[in-house]
Structure 1
Amino acid sequence: MSSPADYGDSTRSVHAGLPEAALPGQPFLPGPVFAAPYHLDPVAGPQAGVDGYGRPDNATRRALETAIGELEGGECVTFASGMAAVSAALLTQARPGDAVLLPADGYFLTRSFAQESLPGVTILLAPTAGPYPSFEGVRLVLLETPANPGLDVCDIASLASRAHAAGALLAVDNTTPTPLGQRPLELGADLVVASASKALTGHSDLILGYACTADPELAARLRAWRSGTGGVPGPFEAWLAHRSLGTLDLRLARQSENAAAIADLLAGRPQVSSVRWPGRPGDPSYEIASRQMRRIPGIVTFTLPSKAHVDAFLTASRLIAAATSFGGLHTSADRRAQWGDDAPEGLVRLSCGVEDTRDLVADITAALDAAAVVPGT
């Protein structure tokens, strides 16, 4: 008989965090536990292992953490948002006099938070594709791979080895690939952080983040930080997230299939000056991604000549929503420069949904045709 470790991705996703023995009359996924205080023993008071107060204790949250931990391969601590998880990782590790290395081309709010909120900490930046400086004297190396929005990929195992040799911890932002696309802890990372609002839950209906580690001491530090600062997710958000995990493998498969077709389409269009998708042969990250990743995510980044061309493209499309998040069921696109990100005016991050591939290809073809000639350009 197969053990859970031998199960495929869909089986693991469907059963993650659920009890092995099903009780008659009980739901597949118990409903959310809405509780602030819980009943205490009137004589003995609080007891270890028994829920007492909703900030540190919630059964629904624990079930989700068990599920994500099974998929990532470590102990999971959930947070109210992805940035809450990132800030917890930074603030529990970095002290005045330390140095932290961050991706120069990753999510810009991670850089701005570190630069503004870590007084006395030296912030170093390096592009995801390298070159990387010496890690001597660095306390924490944070990678984001594939990088958002440029989609460069770095070698996690190699950088983990370098970081550990220098006495540094290595953290990986795993938002874009999810644990079904990449398992950083197996590659030597000490910590995984992610926004679960994106592809992991995939329905564009909640805000959530998590950190995951195989180090019990690091997990305990993160839990203590979360309890002390109060950045907990609500029980309904945790329940929604757990409910969504069951279709993760199915959603990612269609999104990746759509991304492959759209990347090929975009590469053949004269008004598109660059196309990035790590799963496409010829992409600068293809070799590393093919070796390191279990599945390439459904994000394609491409560049049109100007903001006006992007505006015309999005206006003409019938299936693409203009939205800043990604990883959902619906295909969406975001012109990154509008957020102050260091990106060309015409750079678009396209998040492929689960629509039929042929419908998306036809819609994007028509939208590109409509945007090919923009008045005044």
Structure 2
Amino acid sequence: MTDTPTSRAASLQHLRRQKLMKGEPVALPLTLASTYHLPGDPKDFNQYGRFDNATWEAAEEMLSHLEGAPCLAFPSGMAAISAVFFGLLKSGDRILLPSDGYYTTRVLSERFLSRFGVSFDLGPTASFLDGGFDGYRLVFVETPANPGLELCDIAAVARAAHAAGALVVADNTTMTPFGQRPLDLGADILVAADTKAPNGHSDTLFGHVATRDTEIFESVRRWRELSGSIPGPFEAWLLHRGLETLELRFDRMCSSAGVLAARLKRHKAVEAVRYPGLPDHPSHNLASTQMLRFGSLIGLTLKSAETAEAFIDGCELLQPATSFGSVHSSAERRARWGDAVAPGFIRLSVGCEPTEDLWQAIDRSLSATDR
């Protein structure tokens, strides 16, 4: 079988089959265990729930299959990012973060990494290459950046950062393995919050780290084991179940987002639309080559904070909630969290509702705010 995103989706459904004995359940069992039967020499056996669990190991197998790289599971996306930082950095190191990416990564660095002697600088995603990477131990990219959906060239960043002796970490939360493949573009480490589309049902927190570097993998694995930053088995079971339909859901989400973005661009109540699939996105050409899909997130700006809140509250097919990537479409005004966006900027996460029904609901609510 050829190695393509769709072939990986197809074979993903049959990973468990390869290990099944006759009479065993097709569905993944939930293994709830903190201790194991362990007489005599414990070598090569499950020892303790902080080290081993069959359910999250099955989820890791699925993630590794999709990423094309060994993966480690974590209880959230931020736990995955923390494991990379605390597992690899030391006092005196300097890192570069996106100034317009997910804000919690910056807060973590400011409040905690700095206490351990790790300094950080900020750079806008769209001009991340400017100034070079000399003196950095680690360069952290997030593209498309959340929430403004700016892009940077992962391959170009990787080439320049490696020449300067830096590691490249790519946060691929917004895109999933079916939308973008940073490791194939040269990133050393991938982090993602599987809380979003991979789980897809707004009912669990999860994250993972993927890398093809055995030394990095072992450092992060050891950090997880010693810090206890492990996922719960039930959360892993939910993710495992969600991953089985990720390709199907992400296809609908991205296809609908492309239709909606084009229509929103023409709507008289909308002042601006940001979506990598639109030809007027500043990095549309880069998106067309770097990304497999244009994603399910749309940034739209209405005239005021009040208008934005009225639109969200008035649309019966939009869930007012933070986070994104679920089967239901959701929206939120990101300025309320302190992001550097206009007061009327909305991050719209397109879900799996029928496209035309979703558009009609959005159009009705937008038109009502424009009266």
TM-score by length of 1: 0.94
Distance of 2:169 and 2:186 partners within structure 1 = 10
Would the aligned equivalents of 1:14 and 1:247 in 2 still touch at CA under 8 Å? Answer: no
Would the aligned equivalents of 2:309 and 2:333 in 1 still touch at CA under 8 Å? Answer: no
Distance of 2:72 and 2:298 partners within structure 1 = 30
Higher helix share: 2
Distance of 1:4 and 1:58 partners within structure 2 = 29
Deviation at 1:23, TM superposition (A): 3.1
The residue identity in structure 2 corresponding to 1:109 is: T
- Residues 1:125 and 2:88 are matched in the alignment: no
Tell me whether 269-278 or 133-142 shows the greater mean CA deviation: 269-278
Distance of 1:334 and 1:57 partners within structure 2 = 38
| Contiguous gaps of at least 5 residues in structure 2 | none
Deviation at 1:302, TM superposition (A): 0.7
Equivalent residue runs for 1:156-171 within 5 Å = 156-171=154-169
Tell me whether 21-30 or 222-231 shows the greater mean CA deviation: 21-30
Would the aligned equivalents of 2:195 and 2:205 in 1 still touch at CA under 8 Å? Answer: yes
The residue identity in structure 2 corresponding to 1:181 is: G
Would the aligned equivalents of 1:275 and 1:301 in 2 still touch at CA under 8 Å? Answer: yes
Q: For the structure 1 residues 291 and 298, does the alpha-carbon distance in structure 2 shift closer, same or farther, using more than 3 Å as the test?
A: same
Distance of 2:281 and 2:12 partners within structure 1 = 30
Q: Hey, what does 1:210 align to over in structure 2?
A: 208
Residue from 353, 356, 364 that aligns with 1:355: 353
Deviation at 1:94, TM superposition (A): 2.2
- Residues 1:240 and 2:238 are matched in the alignment: yes
Residue from 188, 191, 198 that aligns with 1:190: 188
The count of aligned residue pairs is: 368
Equivalent residue runs for 1:101-112 within 5 Å = 101-112=96-107
The residue identity in structure 1 corresponding to 2:72 is: V
Distance of 1:3 and 1:318 partners within structure 2 = 43
Residue from 43, 60, 82 that aligns with 1:47: 43
- Residues 1:14 and 2:13 are matched in the alignment: yes
Q: Hey, what does 2:337 align to over in structure 1?
A: 339
Would the aligned equivalents of 1:9 and 1:249 in 2 still touch at CA under 8 Å? Answer: no
Deviation at 1:203, TM superposition (A): 1.1
Equivalent residue runs for 1:284-303 within 5 Å = 284-303=282-301
Q: Hey, what does 2:275 align to over in structure 1?
A: 277
1:96-142 deviation line (CA, Å, top 9, x unaligned): 21110001100001011111111222211111111532211100000
Secondary structure at the residue paired with 2:16? coil
Q: For the structure 1 residues 165 and 326, does the alpha-carbon distance in structure 2 shift closer, same or farther, using more than 3 Å as the test?
A: same
The residue identity in structure 1 corresponding to 2:269 is: Q
Residue from 76, 85, 89 that aligns with 2:80: 85
Residue from 148, 170, 173 that aligns with 1:172: 170
Distance of 2:248 and 2:273 partners within structure 1 = 25
- Residues 1:94 and 2:94 are matched in the alignment: no
Distance of 2:365 and 2:5 partners within structure 1 = 44
The residue identity in structure 2 corresponding to 1:76 is: C
TM-score by length of 2: 0.96
Would the aligned equivalents of 2:12 and 2:65 in 1 still touch at CA under 8 Å? Answer: no
Deviation at 1:9, TM superposition (A): 4.5
RMSD: 1.5
Tell me whether 310-319 or 189-198 shows the greater mean CA deviation: 310-319
The residue identity in structure 2 corresponding to 1:11 is: A
Secondary structure at the residue paired with 2:66? helix
The residue identity in structure 1 corresponding to 2:106 is: R
The residue identity in structure 2 corresponding to 1:344 is: A
The residue identity in structure 1 corresponding to 2:270 is: V
Would the aligned equivalents of 2:88 and 2:219 in 1 still touch at CA under 8 Å? Answer: no
Q: For the structure 1 residues 320 and 312, does the alpha-carbon distance in structure 2 shift closer, same or farther, using more than 3 Å as the test?
A: same
Secondary structure at the residue paired with 1:193? strand
1:23-43 deviation line (CA, Å, top 9, x unaligned): 3322223211100010102x3
Secondary structure at the residue paired with 1:147? coil
Secondary structure at the residue paired with 1:350? strand
Deviation at 1:6, TM superposition (A): 8.5
Secondary structure at the residue paired with 1:124? strand
Q: Hey, what does 1:60 align to over in structure 2?
A: 55
Instruction: Name the % identity.
Output: 45
The residue identity in structure 1 corresponding to 2:94 is: A
Residue from 222, 225, 230 that aligns with 1:224: 222
Distance of 1:281 and 1:24 partners within structure 2 = 53
Deviation at 1:270, TM superposition (A): 2.6
Would the aligned equivalents of 1:14 and 1:245 in 2 still touch at CA under 8 Å? Answer: no
Would the aligned equivalents of 1:13 and 1:249 in 2 still touch at CA under 8 Å? Answer: no
Would the aligned equivalents of 1:331 and 1:352 in 2 still touch at CA under 8 Å? Answer: yes
Would the aligned equivalents of 1:9 and 1:180 in 2 still touch at CA under 8 Å? Answer: no
Deviation at 1:195, TM superposition (A): 0.4
Would the aligned equivalents of 1:141 and 1:170 in 2 still touch at CA under 8 Å? Answer: yes
Deviation at 1:279, TM superposition (A): 1.3
Tell me whether 80-89 or 117-126 shows the greater mean CA deviation: 117-126
Would the aligned equivalents of 2:35 and 2:48 in 1 still touch at CA under 8 Å? Answer: yes
Secondary structure at the residue paired with 1:192? strand
Q: For the structure 1 residues 21 and 230, does the alpha-carbon distance in structure 2 shift closer, same or farther, using more than 3 Å as the test?
A: closer
